[in-house]
Amino acid sequence: MRGNGFVYPGQTLGIVGGGQLGRMAVVEARRAGYRVAVYTDEPNGSPAGQLADTEINASYFDEEARGLFLKEVDAVTVEFENIPAAFLDAIESRARLHPSRAAVATCQNREREKLFLRKQGIPHAAFEVVTDAEGLERAVKKLGYPCVLKTADFGYDGKGQQKLMAGDDLAAAWVALGAPRGVVEQWVTFEKELSVVAARSASGAFAAFPVAENMHRDHILDVTISPARIDAATAARATELAAAVAHALDYTGTLAVEMFLTAAGEILVNEIAPRPHNSGHHTIDSCVTSQFQQQLRTVCGFAPGDATQHTPAVMVNLLGDLWPAPEKHPDWTPVLEDGGAFLHLYGKRLAKPKRKMGHFTVLGGTVEAALGRAMALRAALGFPI
């Protein structure tokens, strides 16, 4: 980092994590002339590491490997949040880390995240923190059925959570959780699931992409529609909440704020992702500046770019369930023959059920046109109904 606080092309961006979010960040960094070093505990050839200048494969508790990484980098960012605190502490003590260790710590733990929302007065589902079966019973009595029990740590894509219904054995549910602390959330009946992907610079400049509308299958994002099919007032309120989250975290980088829109028109913040997000992948093809370009700009000290969406878009996730065999690709002809569709694969050699292997984005003159073509392509690829 030079004296003026910027990290320039020719210098090295460090990325912690080797998954697809890191891979897409590497693409943007390399395109802009940066070197990239990836640190991952995955084996050699991680999706991000395949494209990076340097890939360090080691445990996050390996001090020697961490030292080698720090010698390489001028700035560091993360591509997932479940990183040991000790690793982030060590990085932040010696390098420019964005988002900060404090911001990641808030978002990587559901208890801390919910308490942060409560403290900031940001609307969210009612919740209780529980540490044993008796506490779970008290929380359920207060919140009512149905409700959701989640682990405090290490949960994503529906992992580490279970819906509780009247008549369920709460003692057994607590044992099944397999964690020392949990969060019980009141069930939210929602009309739509929304997300706002945005970027904030260290100086506080904020830029949000249009609100996205998300549809999930088995707790995993299936389809994103952008812009969301909501009115202008609702979109403005969702963006305001995302800005409130980013500013309260003193955030630098790209983040995503996932929300519920209730039948009464209320918006409740559900989760915060301190990184680019699956629901922002369409920005690569549909926006002036992609979410990964925003990450690069803000982490390196610059202001966010123009977040305008130039074309309506629908993004469809491609999970390993679609692959005929672990190493045999589907026939991509339907997507590749559509002049307004864009295929993105993540370089993962083995397909597994529920594993995110790629996505495709469809652009159209209207959201409805893009959605219709996206659904037709899903069918042509043989998606399960």
CATH of the domain at 253: 3.30.470.20
Identify the domain containing residue 198 by its residue range.
190-381
The tally of CA atoms less than 13 A away on the side-chain side of residue 230 is 29
Q: What is the CATH number of the domain that holds 168?
A: 3.30.1490.20
Domain check: are 241 and 318 in the same one? yes
Nearest CA to 126 among 108, 150, 142, 107?
142
| pLDDT above 50: residue 1 | no
The answer to whether residues 250 and 363 belong to one domain is yes
**pLDDT mean over 35-47:** 94
146 shares its domain with 224: no
Give the span between the Cα atoms of 73 and 81, in whole angstroms: 20
Query: CA-CA distance, 383 to 385, in Å (whole number)?
Result: 6
Q: Which of 127, 371, 92 is nearest to 227 (CA)?
A: 371
Residue 237 near residue 216 (C-beta atoms within 8 A): no
User: What CATH code is carried by the domain that includes residue 43?
Assistant: 3.40.50.20
Among 363, 353, 357, which residue's Cα sits nearest to residue 345?
357
Q: Is residue 195 part of a domain?
A: yes
**Could you read off the pLDDT of 213-248 as tens digits, one per residue?**
999 999 899 999 999 999 999 999 999 999 999 999
CA distance 301 to 203: 9
Residues 210 and 181 in one domain: no
Q: How many other CB atoms are there within 10 angstroms of residue 190's CB atom?
A: 17
Going by pLDDT thresholds of 50, 70 and 90, the confidence category of residue 153 is confident
pLDDT tens digits, 174-184:
999 999 999 99
Q: Examine the pLDDT at 211 and tell me if it is beyond 80.
A: yes
Query: Pick from 63, 54, 56: which is nearest to 42 by CA?
Result: 56
Triad 372, 373, 375: Cα angle to 5°: 65
Angle between helices 110-120 and 232-248 (to 10 degrees): 110
Domain check: are 169 and 196 in the same one?
no
The confidence score (pLDDT) of residue 2 equals 47
For residue 128, give the H/E element and its range: strand 127-130
- CA separation, residue 115 to residues 120, 124, 154 (Å): 9, 10, 17
pLDDT at 3 over 80: no
Longest Cα–Cα distance in the chain: 63
Q: Tell me how far apart the alpha carbons of residues 311 and 370 are, in angstroms, rounded to a whole number.
A: 10
Averaged confidence pLDDT in the chain: 95
**Alpha-carbon gap, residue 43 to 49, rounded angstroms:** 10
The contacts of residue 144 (CB under 8 Å, 6+ apart) are: 186
pLDDT, residue 127, reads 97
Percent of the chain clearing pLDDT 90 (strictly above):
94
Contact 280, 291 (CB under 8 A): yes
pTM of the model: 0.95
State whether residue 13 is helix, strand or coil: strand
pLDDT in tens, 303-352: 999 999 999 999 999 999 999 999 999 999 999 999 999 999 999 999 99
Alpha carbon distances (Å) from 75 to 8, 277, 294: 10, 21, 15
Q: Please report whether residue 121 resides in a domain.
A: no
pLDDT score of 160: 79
Using the 3D structure, point to which of 97, 114, 136 is the last residue of a domain. 97
Sign of CA dihedral 326, 327, 333, 336: positive
Averaged over 275-297, what is the pLDDT? 98
Asked whether the predicted pLDDT for residue 11 surpasses 90, the reply is yes
What phi and psi values does residue 20 have, to the nearest 5 degrees? -70, -30
Give the chain's domain count.
3
User: Does any domain span residue 116?
Assistant: no
- Amino acid residing at 29: A
Any domain includes 376: yes
Cα–Cα distance measured from residue 187 to residue 50, given in angstroms and rounded to the nearest whole number: 42
206 has pLDDT over 80: yes
> Does 304 lie in the same domain as 177?
no
Q: Quote the pLDDT of residue 43.
A: 84
Task: Kindly state the tokens that stand for 213.
Answer: 């509308």
265-274 average pLDDT score: 97
Q: What are phi and psi of 259, to 5 degrees?
A: -140, 160
Pairing of strands 75-78, 12-16: parallel
Co-location of 200 and 177 in the same domain: no
Whether residue 161 is predicted with pLDDT greater than 90 in this model: the reply is: no
Instruction: State yes or no: pLDDT of 122 exceeds 90.
Output: yes
The pLDDT of residue 155? 57
Same domain for 263 and 219: yes
Q: Which residue bears the tokens 């059925």?
A: 145
pLDDT tens across 59-116, in order?
A: 999 999 999 999 999 999 999 999 999 999 999 999 999 999 999 999 999 999 999 9
Whole-angstrom Cα distance, residue 204 to residue 255? 14
Q: Residues 217, 377, 214, 15: what is their CA dihedral angle, to the nearest 10 degrees?
A: 90
